Amino acid sequence: MKLNIRDNNFDIIRLVLAILVGLYHWNILIAYNSGNLFFNFGEIAVDCFFIVSGFLIFWSFDNDKDNKKFYIKRFYRIFPIYFGLIFLQTLFFIGFSQGNLEEIFRYFISNLLFLNFLSPSVGETLANLEVNAINGSLWTLKNEVMFYVLVPLIFLFYKKFGLKFLAFLYFISIIYILTINYFDLSKMIALFPSQLRLFIVGVFLYVFFSKLSKEVLFLMGPISIVFIYLFSENEYFKFLMYPILLGFILLFIIYCIKEIKIKFDFSYSFHILHFPVIQLAIYFNINPSNPILSFVFLFSIIIFLSFLSEKYIEKRFIRIGKKVRFSN
């Protein structure tokens, strides 16, 4: 059965992935450290985010063909709420930081430029917490922004060299990971080159989409789950085959499960808000000690704030971005 690219579950899958990342971080930040699988899908969820982003960003760029229009829409989708959040986090450090103004300024500029790894916190302000960072989710955004920047070049070279160029990028990313592992440079694993293979899988799936069918996905989805389960401990499998199989699992869920319509998609707001909400609740000692109460209390706040952010900030700026016009 032929697939219709517009009949999908992308909205709900992004929301589920954001919540899985939130559960993973909550489990770590409150030091609950449950071994329950439900709380340990965070890393896989982030990998899924990058694959989904590769698919959607390439699809969006392929449809727009207008670089200015594409980047204006991306800017109003991502940056306003991000800049606002960095400003609020900086205000927190101004009011409660144990660092000096120079450290606060460095934090503000670094994070404003998506270089949060240079300054995840200010001094020892959050040193007594499980993680000395105000917002450990922001590292993913610098990788998204890098892909936004590079997607016109990737599109151009793909049109010229075809799938060979995408395969080249995929293997360059794997070589980068093997290199930093060999030299024990673990801090560099979060940088864009190591995530590039995940974005490229998303691009591959978009490019091949017209050749796929529900029958193929019904076959590849379950097979991919079995292979990942059997070989998940193999390092070379993780680098080489895992992203591709994970991509097929995602397409299976997104296109073979009956479409679930939702009237809201606060996945982006949830993703960037959940970490600071949890950290600040712990810092100000208002997080309930009981894990169940903590979960209900914190996630009620996070979902409420995310809903408001999506409704009154995200949607408003997205509409503004769509109205921007350029004269020829």
DSSP conformation class of 213 = B
pLDDT, position 127: 92
pLDDT, position 39: 86
| pLDDT 10s digits, 243-297 | 999 999 999 999 999 999 898 899 999 999 999 999 999 999 999 999 999 999 9
What is the Cα Rg of the chain in Å?
20
pLDDT, position 322: 87
| pLDDT 10s digits, 85-142 | 999 999 999 999 877 899 999 999 999 999 998 999 998 999 999 999 999 999 999 9
Report which residue type is found at 71. Y
Report which residue type is found at 50. F
Q: Is the pTM of this model over 0.85?
A: yes
The Cα–Cα gap between 2 and 10 comes to 18
